[in-house]
């Protein structure tokens, strides 16, 4: 099967698998244990913390390992709010956030926090004037993602961070889609916390990290927690973390070249699937700041669910949006937020390429699209 759903998850690298097995077999100790086996595991953990910090220009003291991006989002937001109760109960966000953010904010809203959603333009970029206008004396935190998982739009975190920092507002960003794809500099963007995930960069599932600026105060979500310096309960997954770091060390040196390669694959695919009998629209093709690996398209008159199932039948894995929203049977919220109609949103499909995507696979995908659409429109 041709896999074109890398934005949902990625296959593990052979080297990451190898390191996982080696650490799980030989360095299995609990990193909190005081004996030598535990100390060895802790040494691996602390070196991993330093490596991750380097990739975001952060302080190793601010890196906390978690089970993934969703938990990192939840813990970052709650920990920062709990540590800054005196700052207020107003939160800024967008309608384009990952479900783990949206659901966290729904709970906080029920607990008395007021949440304001900042509008975006037709590219999905935050309206900076609207952001500035929405700030209030009691605004405590803003949570704005870096890269959108459905259309690939990248937010200008540096400018957003400058605005928020001028008002001393805590700034969290979900960086799950961008970590290992494009540069993230927590200091330059004045980020107080970010979330990242291992399985988006060819590491194991169930592993991620949260970065919190050590200069910011936070409090444990669960009292008396001892692991990860009180940030998260539970024995730390040292083998998974070591594999995560291994994957990062493989991916970061090539990420700029890969975005260039992804751009070429993207252009080839879009050009190849066009036809005289159907209209295929790339979602905001002129967007100057985007993740080249995420390709969102709409086929006029054809529901995305149909295209996804037909591609699957022909041995190609694509999606109709974020994997965390599958089964909801609703138009992609991102598409509606950037001004698309419900009909257009239902026609949306997402193809996402990755490290193992080849030109030959794109050629075969083009042939399959042509076959599916020719059959579909000839039936009418």
**What pLDDT, in 10s, does the model give residues 107-157?**
999 999 999 999 999 999 999 999 999 999 999 999 999 999 999 999 999
> Would the pLDDT of 329 be above 90?
no
**Which fold does the domain 2-7+254-379 belong to in CATH?**
3.90.1150
More confident residue, 251 or 35: 251
DSSP secondary structure, 140-204, as one string: EEEE--SB-TTT-BB--HHHHHHHHHHTT-EEEEE-TTTBTTB---TTTTT-SEEEEEGGGTTS-
Q: pLDDT band for position 230 (50/70/90)?
A: confident
Q: pLDDT band for position 323 (50/70/90)?
A: low
User: Tens of pLDDT along 14-54?
Assistant: 999 999 999 999 988 777 676 877 789 889 999 999 999 99
pLDDT number for residue 324: 53
pLDDT number for residue 74: 98
The alpha helices in the chain, defined as continuous H runs, are 14-26, 36-54, 69-82, 99-110, 128-134, 157-166, 238-251, 255-273, 304-313, 333-337, 342-346, 359-379
Catalytic annotation, pick one of 175, 210, 298, 324: 324
> Would the pLDDT of 60 be above 60?
yes
pLDDT number for residue 38: 78
Residue 139, helix vs strand vs coil: strand
150/340 Cα distance (integer angstroms): 13
User: Among this protein's residues, is 311 annotated catalytic?
Assistant: no
Q: Comparing C-alpha atoms, which of 80, 12, 246, 250 is closest to residue 3?
A: 12
Burial of 206 (0-12, 13-18, 19+ CB in 10 A): middle
Lowest mean pLDDT among 165-179, 292-306, 329-343: 329-343
Residue ranges per structural domain of the chain: 2-7+254-379, 14-252
Q: Do domains 2-7+254-379 and 14-252 have the same CATH topology?
A: no
Q: Which CATH number fits domain 14-252: 3.30.565.10, 3.40.640.10, 3.40.50.12240, 1.10.10.60?
A: 3.40.640.10
Q: At what angle do helices 359-379 and 255-273 cross, to 10 degrees?
A: 30
Q: pLDDT band for position 322 (50/70/90)?
A: low
Those residues with Cβ within 8 angstroms of residue 264's Cβ, 6 or more apart along the chain or in another chain: none
Residue 131, helix vs strand vs coil: helix
Residue 356, helix vs strand vs coil: coil
């Amino acid at each position: 099967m041709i896999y074109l759903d890398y934005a949902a998850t990625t296959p593990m690298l052979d080297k990451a698998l190898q390191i996982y097995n080696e650490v799980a077999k030989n360095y299995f100790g609990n990193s909190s244990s005081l004996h030598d086996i535990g100390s060895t595991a802790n040494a691996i953990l602390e070196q991993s913390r330093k490596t991750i910090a380097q990739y975001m220009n952060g302080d190793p003291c601010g890196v906390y390992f978690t089970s993934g991006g969703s938990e990192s989002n939840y813990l970052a937001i709650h920990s920062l709010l709990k540590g800054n109760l005196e700052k207020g109960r107003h939160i800024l966000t967008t309608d384009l956030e990952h479900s783990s953010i949206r659901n966290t904010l729904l709970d906080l809203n029920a607990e008395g926090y007021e949440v304001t959603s900042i509008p975006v333009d037709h590219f999905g970029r935050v309206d900076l004037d609207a952001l500035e206008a929405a700030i209030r004396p009691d605004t405590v935190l803003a949570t704005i993602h870096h890269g959108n998982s459905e259309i690939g739009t990248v937010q200008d975190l540096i400018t957003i961070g400058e605005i928020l920092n001028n008002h001393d507002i805590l700034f969290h960003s979900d960086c799950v889609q961008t970590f290992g794809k494009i540069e993230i500099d927590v200091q330059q963007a004045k980020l107080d916390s970010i979330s990242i995930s291992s399985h988006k960069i060819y590491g194991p599932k169930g592993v991620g990290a949260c970065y919190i600026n050590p200069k910011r105060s936070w409090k444990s979500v669960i009292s008396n927690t001892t692991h990860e310096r009180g940030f998260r309960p539970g024995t730390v997954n040292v083998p998974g973390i070591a594999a995560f770091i291994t994957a990062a060390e493989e991916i970061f040196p090539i990420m700029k070249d890969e975005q260039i390669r992804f751009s070429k694959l993207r252009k080839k695919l879009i050009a190849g699937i066009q036809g005289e009998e159907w209209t295929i629209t790339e979602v905001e093709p002129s967007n100057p700041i985007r993740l080249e690996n995420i390709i969102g398209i709409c086929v006029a008159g054809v529901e995305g669910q149909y295209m996804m199932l037909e591609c699957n039948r022909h041995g190609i894995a694509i999606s109709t949006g974020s994997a965390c929203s599958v089964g909801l049977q609703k138009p992609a919220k991102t598409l509606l937020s950037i001004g698309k109609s419900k009909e257009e949103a239902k026609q949306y499909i997402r193809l996402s390429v990755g490290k193992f995507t080849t030109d030959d696979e794109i050629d075969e995908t083009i042939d399959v699209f042509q076959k599916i659409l020719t059959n579909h429109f000839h039936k009418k």
